[in-house]
Amino acid sequence: MSTVYILWLRQLKRYFRARSRIVGALGQPLLFLVALGFGFGPVFERAGQGNYIEFLTPGIIAMSILFTAIFSGMEIIWDRQFGFLKETLVAPVSRLEIVLGRTMGGATVATIQGIIVLVLSLFIGFRPMNLGLLPVTLAFMFLIALFFTALGTAIASVLEDMQGFQLIMNFLVMPFFFLSGALFPLGGLPEALQIVASVDPLSYGVDGIRASLTGSAHFGLPLDFFVLSVLTVILLAIGSYLFSRIQI
């Protein structure tokens, strides 16, 4: 397990050294919070849905985790192209330990990014309803990070270069976000969209964060936690298997 710890620590060091990356990754979440939060806030209130900043913030936290985690997993492609991955794979350690270390490190980085967005949201008016449920919030944030880091690892394990990355972004990552209920309530949607949202893993993460921060839930905390946990374990297994089959 020392290899897992070393790779986890390496991911953290890489993150904190790239200060421009930290600042750049905060730009989109803050833009969404300010532009959408204050832009659609009056419309949301007139519709009788309450404060839009309170509704939107959990979704934007999940969004920041989603993109950071996916990019962290996709770093495997960069490492493969520049030869760093070969150096790692020829080391006398289990590939399972390598993928676990990388995944845990990427998930930790993504969770830190989500925590930063949560803190910044306090300055634009967001207030958690129950501070005692913050550990639950952090648990859901980490589960989202684990799931999408494992997804990024699985995708990167079968891609040879970055040519397919834009395709992945357009047809996988963006639908995950926009159909998760991060920007709009899932209740009252057309039946087809509700079905799509119910099979979107991010929907349960967003709902879990929203329930723990604001007390408003669509699926309910127990179901959110169960579904997201099971899917994360499955995807970790798939990602580990695909990574183990990478040819040097």
| Residue owning tokens 């200060």 | 19
Q: Which residue type is seen at 168?
A: I
Q: pLDDT at position 36, please?
A: 85
Q: pLDDT at position 38, please?
A: 84
Residues in contact with 216: Cβ distance below 8 Å, sequence separation at least 6, in sequence order: 55, 210
Extents of the domains making up the chain: 2-244
Read out DSSP for 92-127? SS-HHHHHHHHHHHHHHHHHHHHHHHHHHHGGGT--
Residues in contact with 206: Cβ distance below 8 Å, sequence separation at least 6, in sequence order: 58, 59, 62, 180, 181, 182
d(CA 41, CA 39): 6
d(CA 128, CA 135): 12
pLDDT tens, residue order, the chain (248 aa): 566 666 667 666 666 565 556 666 677 888 888 888 888 888 777 766 778 889 999 999 999 999 888 887 777 777 776 666 666 666 666 777 777 888 888 888 889 999 999 999 998 888 888 888 899 999 999 999 999 988 888 888 787 766 776 677 677 888 889 889 888 888 878 888 888 889 999 999 999 999 999 988 889 899 999 999 999 999 888 888 887 777 65
Q: pLDDT at position 248, please?
A: 59
